[in-house]
């Protein structure tokens, strides 16, 4: 017997609630009056007790907003934990009772297979970096009960530094434990894979004789192939997350996947198409309200959830501002010598090294020379100690679709100009594709950020902790300057060095920036080492 648990009436003016979190997982056994979930309204948070003892079957997921009176879950009162009730013998309407009985027996033996007959592989959060203690499940790419193959990507995980894929460690039937959006510690259980089990074959075979309530509680993956009305307009886990962050109703998106399912690509391209109806409706609305003032035009708002990466970046930037004695010193550099070199040799440089000659290689090389002369700018504070480095690992700030990331060029002091350019291109491409590893974004000793590519004239960049300094590049502007007593128009760039005054004194910060200026305005110094 299956009992439907509905959202209770919690107040006169409250018409809907949001599922803040499930305290029990799908398939868990619950007792009468045991708290199984926390619900949120626009006024309060309250607990949802189980209305009977039995096996919990979750219908609405965490984060869903559902109306009062809607079904939130079901409780199978006569079930065993982790299994499903067998189809009654009296309802065998098929012409082949032997086959139906075999299917029912296979369904009844699922818990036993999970515990012994079919070996169960537990998948836990892998270690992804020294400083990372937890990850967030960005999306499940497979549904609970789906059959997965060895090394097939089944989920996307997010840490505070990167997004990475989770491959299946065995072939079998997927049993999801942690839900999408959950934050799980390293080593925590994500899912189980029942090896040798074929969900796609076993579940449809058991359905003809199963009770109607049981069929209604089956996941979407167990639906017959002809049930296109269920798949149509239904987003995949990854697509659902994207649409939720964009604030788009899946009903407004045309799915191109199998049976009309909304794919990740559909969700990513849904922003413009979702905005068109509002624009198209605007003329009609204006005609109806011709007497309204001009201020009554479109005033749309859009709400998006912050990703784990952006929340972590925000937290760390505020932490740096609060915990360091940060100052910024400025200077300007005449870019004409470097621009002349690039104009003269860029074609030969690209022909020989198969990479363009950009400004970043000159700045990186100049910084590595200056950092070795002023080691405090390349150092960091660790408790009551100061750590000085005899190498230079330069972090390059890159704007990616998921937010700001800072991949690291290792041992930049030993690289040539072409070597630096190749590393910048390689890391920037991986950042845009979201393929950077944790190792490629940790361990930098000094950061360079280029706001000039976006048109910034001057800024005060924030230190990338635990580093002690960051150099900000800006746009190049033709300005009149005095050269040998004459006024000339030169391409000038402002430089900004933000530094931690606890470890770097004013003399060191200013001298470092002046040294960088000298090397850039006379690039021959880089070749001669003077």
Clarify whether residues 276 and 367 are in a common domain. no
Q: Which of 80, 44, 217, 27 is nearest to 36 (CA)?
A: 27
Res 272 pLDDT > 70:
no
3-state secondary structure 8-31: CCCCCCCCEEEEEEECCCCCCEEC
Token readout for 497 is 């060095």
Clarify whether residues 501 and 436 are in a common domain. yes
Q: CA 527, CA 515: separation in Å to the nearest integer?
A: 15
pLDDT, residue 220, reads 40
Active site residues: 501, 505
> Helix 506-521 vs helix 336-353: angle between axes, to the nearest 10 degrees?
70
pLDDT, residue 375, reads 95
Clarify whether residues 382 and 512 are in a common domain. yes
DSSP 405: E
Res 99 pLDDT > 50:
no
Res 446 pLDDT > 70:
yes
Considering the domain boundaries, does residue 85 fall inside one?
A: no
Considering the domain boundaries, does residue 162 fall inside one?
A: no
Q: How many domains would you assign to the chain?
A: 3
Clarify whether residues 426 and 353 are in a common domain. yes
> What digits encode the pLDDT tens for the residues 150-190?
888 899 888 766 777 889 998 999 999 999 888 888 888 99
Res 378 pLDDT > 70:
yes
Q: CA 420, CA 422: separation in Å to the nearest integer?
A: 5
Considering the domain boundaries, does residue 445 fall inside one?
A: yes
> What digits encode the pLDDT tens for the residues 505-521?
999 999 999 999 999 99
DSSP 299: -
Q: CA 428, CA 433: separation in Å to the nearest integer?
A: 9
Q: CA 465, CA 293: separation in Å to the nearest integer?
A: 51
Clarify whether residues 393 and 248 are in a common domain. no
The kind and range of the H/E element at 164 are: strand 163-167
pLDDT, residue 250, reads 80
Residues with Cβ < 8 Å from 123, sequence gap 6 or more?
166, 168, 169, 189, 190, 191, 192, 193
pLDDT, residue 130, reads 60
High-pLDDT (> 70) share of the chain, %: 76
261-275 mean pLDDT:
65
Q: Which of 59, 76, 93 is the last residue of a domain?
A: 76
Considering the domain boundaries, does residue 320 fall inside one?
A: no
Q: CA 497, CA 478: separation in Å to the nearest integer?
A: 22
Model confidence at 138, pLDDT cuts 50, 70, 90, reads: confident
Q: CA 360, CA 31: separation in Å to the nearest integer?
A: 64
Res 103 pLDDT > 50:
no
Q: Are 472 and 497 in contact (CB under 8 A)?
A: yes
Clarify whether residues 267 and 355 are in a common domain. no
Q: Which of 33, 49, 76 is the last residue of a domain?
A: 76
pLDDT, residue 321, reads 85
Model confidence at 216, pLDDT cuts 50, 70, 90, reads: very low
Domain that holds residue 372: 325-528
High-pLDDT (> 90) share of the chain, %: 38
456-485 mean pLDDT:
93
Q: Are 192 and 177 in contact (CB under 8 A)?
A: yes
Q: Which residue has the higher pLDDT, 139 or 111?
A: 139
Res 358 pLDDT > 70:
yes
Considering the domain boundaries, does residue 169 fall inside one?
A: no
Res 109 pLDDT > 80:
no
Residue at token pair 């990338």: 464
Q: Which residue has the higher pLDDT, 530 or 444?
A: 444
Considering the domain boundaries, does residue 159 fall inside one?
A: no
pLDDT, residue 316, reads 82
Res 113 pLDDT > 50:
no
Q: Which residue has the higher pLDDT, 483 or 286?
A: 483
> What digits encode the pLDDT tens for the residues 399-434?
877 777 899 999 999 999 999 999 999 998 888 888
pTM over 0.85: no
Phi, psi angle pair for 273, to nearest 5°: -65, -30
pLDDT, residue 197, reads 53
Clarify whether residues 362 and 242 are in a common domain. no
| CATH classification of the domain holding 239 | 4.10.320.10
Considering the domain boundaries, does residue 265 fall inside one?
A: yes
3-state secondary structure 108-119: HCHHHHHHHHCC
pLDDT, residue 129, reads 66
| CATH classification of the domain holding 396 | 3.30.559.10
Q: What is the dihedral of CA 505, 507, 511, 512, to 10 degrees?
A: 0
Considering the domain boundaries, does residue 451 fall inside one?
A: yes
Clarify whether residues 351 and 260 are in a common domain. no
Q: Are 87 and 211 in contact (CB under 8 A)?
A: yes
- The widest CA-to-CA distance across the chain, in whole angstroms, is 105
Q: Return the number of other C-beta atoms located less than 10 Å from residue 382's C-beta.
A: 9
């Amino acid at each position: 017997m299956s009992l439907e648990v509905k959202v209770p009436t919690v107040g006169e003016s409250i018409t809907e609630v949001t599922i803040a979190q499930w305290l029990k997982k799908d398939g868990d056994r619950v007792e009468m009056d045991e708290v199984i979930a926390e619900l949120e309204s626009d006024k309060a948070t309250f607990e949802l007790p189980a209305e009977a003892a039995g096996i919990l079957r979750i219908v609405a997921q965490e984060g869903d907003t559902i109306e009062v009176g809607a079904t939130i879950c079901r409780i199978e009162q006569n079930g065993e934990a982790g299994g499903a009730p067998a189809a009654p013998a009296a309802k065998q309407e098929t012409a082949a009772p032997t086959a139906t009985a075999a299917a029912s027996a296979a369904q009844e033996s699922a818990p036993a297979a999970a515990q012994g007959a079919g070996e169960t592989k537990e998948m836990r959060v892998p270690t992804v970096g020294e400083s990372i203690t937890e990850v967030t499940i960005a999306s499940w790419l497979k549904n609970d009960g789906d059959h997965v193959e060895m090394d097939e990507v089944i989920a996307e995980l997010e840490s505070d530094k990167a997004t990475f894929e989770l491959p299946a460690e065995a072939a079998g039937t997927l049993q999801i434990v942690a839900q999408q959006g959950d934050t799980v510690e390293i080593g925590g259980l994500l899912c189980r894979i029942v090896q040798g089990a074929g969900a796609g074959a076993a579940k449809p075979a058991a359905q003809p004789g199963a009770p109607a309530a049981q069929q209604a509680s089956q996941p979407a993956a167990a639906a017959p192939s002809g049930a296109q009305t269920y798949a149509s307009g239904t987003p995949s886990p990854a697509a659902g997350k994207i649409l939720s962050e964009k604030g788009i109703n899946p009903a407004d998106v045309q799915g191109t996947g199998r049976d009309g399912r909304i794919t990740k690509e559909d969700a990513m391209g849904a922003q413009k198409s979702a905005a068109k109806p509002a624009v198209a409706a605007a003329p009609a609305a204006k005609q109806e309200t011709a007497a309204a003032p001009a201020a009554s035009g479109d005033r749309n708002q859009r709400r998006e959830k912050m990703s784990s990466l952006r929340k972590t970046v925000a937290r760390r930037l505020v932490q740096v501002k609060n915990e360091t004695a940060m100052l910024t010193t400025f200077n300007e550099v005449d870019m004409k010598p470097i621009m002349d070199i690039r104009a003269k040799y860029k074609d030969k440089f690209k022909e020989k090294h198969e990479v363009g000659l950009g400004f970043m290689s000159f700045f990186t090389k100049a910084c590595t020379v200056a950092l070795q002369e002023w080691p405090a700018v390349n150092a960091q504070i660790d408790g009551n100690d100061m750590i000085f480095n005899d190498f230079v690992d330069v972090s390059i700030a890159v704007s990616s679709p998921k937010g700001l990331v800072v991949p690291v060029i290792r041992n930049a002091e030993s690289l040539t100009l072409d070597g630096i350019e190749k590393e910048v291109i390689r890391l920037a491409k991986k950042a845009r594709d979201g393929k950077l590893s944790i190792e490629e974004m940790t361990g930098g000793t000094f950061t360079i950020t280029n706001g000039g590519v976006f048109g910034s004239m001057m800024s005060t960049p924030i230190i990338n902790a635990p580093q002690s300094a960051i150099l900000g590049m800006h746009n190049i502007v033709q300005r009149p300057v005095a050269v040998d007593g004459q006024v000339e128009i030169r391409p000038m760039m402002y430089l900004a060095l933000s530094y931690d005054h606890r470890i770097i004194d004013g003399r060191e910060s200013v001298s470092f920036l002046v040294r960088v200026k000298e090397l850039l305005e006379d690039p021959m110094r880089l070749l001669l080492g003077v």
